[in-house]
């Protein structure tokens, strides 16, 4: 009888694309994939090191699996497993912990799935994680996450990702195009490009430190692939989002007018302390260039509050900077100290209470910005990709410029692209619409 495997993924789109690839390996080894809530012979947890209380989350997920099947084999992979392997191996019920170089070979580490007395660790120095393994997610959601790049060579002082994922390296352009074709052949309408620092795409493509191709060349090549309806850039560093890419997206067949660009702070002194590679003036340039060629574009912003040295005045500078910018929503992160980071020993520590207060203020600003953006789209004609879940009698979806819409549940709409006119905003903040043409089947 087929062995059953279940997965739990924490963190980013990159982690989801890698879980999906690892799951396909299990299927090719004859495992049947079941939901994490169901009884399985092995549970695989793909961990994240950025998640708040990552350790508590991990322990509760292991407990959840053990409750369903105390005999099951429990394996941990991902960024947290690379950063703190022994800490995870010491958690009751964990049998195997694999680091960044081993996670894609997990099926090689499985014997008869009998539990180990203590968690076995197969991890390595992150310097060894210098080779590239491609991945993409399929079947889990309406859109597919396509990994094009991994690791990072930047040294932002608050970040542990380079320690968890290694140096910047990229898939070959040919392989990315092949994966994109494979995804569109499965009737997936939207592909989201993902990685750690995707603007650095091309670095290490041919196994050396040089750039084989650039991100701009990747975008142009992907736009030519037949059958892909939509391409979305997940997140890109402002200094790596070149004007030529912005202009290309504004005229492209498939790339959607949605940019998610980490800012982190609206004050140049703090940006220097964070060792970010731009000043706020460059960020303004990028936003204005995007809005110049794509006035309806959606712009999402990552921002960190409570970084050491962020006084009330400097925080207000960030608040006002964001308030004045023509952006659409914020992802607000509360600064938290991470081991082995430069920022953890910087002076000017901000109290947790003040961090929480500032985070609340920026989340309030984000609601205001998103509302203003949605209002600016009312009356416009957009294309919606409908998702597959019946949410309390409603079907939801996103326009190309990331406006979230809803309408009464209709299974015929699932995973279809329809042209609509946005009419008004409902009390829950989602946008209603009217179909402007016959339904496309
Ligand atoms: S660019 Fe900076 S924040 Fe982003 S992964 Fe690299 S080091 Fe971390």
CATH dotted code for 4-124: 3.40.50.12160
Tell how far the Cα of 341 is from the centroid of ligand 1, in angstroms: 12
How confident is the model at residue 52, as a pLDDT? 63
**What count of other Cβ atoms lies within 10 Å of the Cβ of residue 408?**
8
How confident is the model at residue 113, as a pLDDT? 85
How confident is the model at residue 51, as a pLDDT? 62
Whether the CB of 14 sits within 6 Å of ligand 1:
no
Whether the CB of 166 sits within 6 Å of ligand 1:
no
Read off the tokens for 423: 């009419």
Tell how far the Cα of 231 is from the centroid of ligand 1, in angstroms: 23
Whether the CB of 61 sits within 6 Å of ligand 1:
no
Which among 390, 423, 388, 389 has a CA at the least distance from the CA of 405? Answer: 423
Distance CA 343, CA 346 (A): 5
- Where does 45-171 have alpha helices with state H? 54-68, 79-83, 85-89, 161-165
Distance CA 233, CA 402 (A): 12
pLDDT along the chain (441 residues), means of 10: 90 95 96 96 93 81 96 96 94 96 94 87 85 88 92 96 96 97 94 98 92 96 94 98 98 97 98 98 98 98 98 98 98 93 97 98 98 98 94 96 96 94 94 85 63
CATH dotted code for 258-377: 3.30.750.200
Residue nearest to atom 4 of ligand 1 (CA): 197
Whether the CB of 233 sits within 6 Å of ligand 1:
no
Which among 68, 88, 92 has a CA at the least distance from the CA of 78? Answer: 88
Beta strands in 234-364 (DSSP E): 258-264, 298-305, 329-334
Asked if 185 and 225 count as a contact pair (C-beta separation under 8 A), the reply is no
Q: Per CATH, which fold does 132-256 belong to?
A: Transcription Regulator spoIIAA (3.30.750)
pLDDT digits (tens, 9 = 90+) for 339-394: 899 999 999 999 999 999 999 999 999 999 999 999 999 999 999 999 999 999 99
Asked if 167 and 160 count as a contact pair (C-beta separation under 8 A), the reply is no
Tell how far the Cα of 21 is from the centroid of ligand 1, in angstroms: 24
Distance (Å) of CA 332 to CA 203, 231, 360, 430, 437? 29, 25, 9, 21, 38
Tell how far the Cα of 244 is from the centroid of ligand 1, in angstroms: 23
How confident is the model at residue 331, as a pLDDT? 97
What is the C-alpha R_g of the chain? 22
Whether the CB of 197 sits within 6 Å of ligand 1:
yes
Distance (Å) of CA 303 to CA 192, 344, 369? 21, 18, 14
Residue nearest to atom 2 of ligand 1 (CA): 156
Whether the CB of 161 sits within 6 Å of ligand 1:
yes
Strand 120-122 and strand 143-147: the pairing is unpaired
Which among 167, 183, 271 has a CA at the least distance from the CA of 222? Answer: 183
Whether the CB of 240 sits within 6 Å of ligand 1:
no
What pairs with residue 6 in β-bridges?
43
């Amino acid at each position: 009888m087929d062995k059953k495997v279940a997965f739990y993924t924490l963190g980013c789109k990159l982690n989801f694309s890698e879980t999906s690839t690892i799951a396909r390996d299990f299927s090719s080894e004859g495992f049947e994939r079941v939901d994490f809530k169901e009884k399985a012979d092995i549970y695989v947890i793909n961990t994240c090191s950025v998640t708040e209380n990552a350790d508590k989350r991990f322990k509760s997920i292991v407990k959840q699996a053990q409750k369903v099947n105390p005999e099951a084999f429990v394996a941990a992979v991902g960024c947290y497993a690379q950063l703190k392997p022994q800490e995870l191996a010491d958690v009751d019920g964990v049998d195997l912990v694999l680091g960044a170089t081993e996670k894609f070979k997990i099926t090689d580490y499985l014997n008869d799935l009998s539990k180990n007395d203590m968690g076995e660790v197969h991890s390595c120095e992150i310097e060894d994680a210098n080779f590239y393994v491609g991945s993409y997610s399929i079947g889990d959601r309406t859109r597919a996450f396509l990994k094009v790049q991994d690791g990072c060579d930047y040294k932002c002082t608050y970040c542990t990702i380079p320690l968890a994922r290694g140096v910047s390296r990229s898939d070959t352009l040919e392989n990315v195009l092949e994966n994109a074709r494979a995804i569109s052949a499965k009737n997936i309408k939207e592909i989201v490009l993902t990685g750690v620092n995707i603007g650095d795409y091309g670095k290490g493509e041919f196994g050396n430190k040089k750039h084989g191709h650039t991100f701009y060349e990747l975008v142009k090549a992907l736009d030519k692939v037949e059958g892909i309806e939509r391409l979305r850039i997940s997140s890109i560093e402002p200094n790596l989002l070149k004007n030529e890419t912005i202009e290309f997206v504004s005229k492209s067949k498939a790339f959607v007018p949605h940019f998610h660009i980490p800012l982190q702070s609206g004050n140049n002194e703090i940006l220097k302390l964070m060792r970010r590679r731009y000043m706020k003036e460059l960020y303004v340039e990028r936003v204005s260039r995007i809005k110049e060629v794509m006035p309806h574009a959606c712009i999402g912003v990552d921002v960190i509050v409570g970084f050491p040295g962020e006084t009330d005045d400097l925080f207000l500078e960030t608040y006002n900077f964001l308030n004045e910018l023509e952006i659409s929503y914020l992802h607000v992160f509360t600064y938290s100290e991470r081991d082995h980071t430069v920022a953890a020993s910087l002076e000017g520590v901000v109290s947790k209470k003040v961090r929480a207060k500032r985070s609340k203020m920026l989340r309030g600003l984000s609601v205001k910005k998103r509302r203003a953006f949605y209002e600016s789209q009312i009356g416009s004609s957009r294309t919606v990709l409908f998702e597959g879940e019946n949410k309390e009698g409603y079907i939801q979806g996103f326009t190309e410029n990331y406006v979230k819409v809803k309408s009464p549940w209709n299974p015929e709409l699932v995973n279809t692209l329809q042209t609509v006119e946005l009419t008004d905003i409902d009390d829950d903040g989602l946008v209603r619409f009217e179909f402007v043409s016959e339904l496309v089947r």
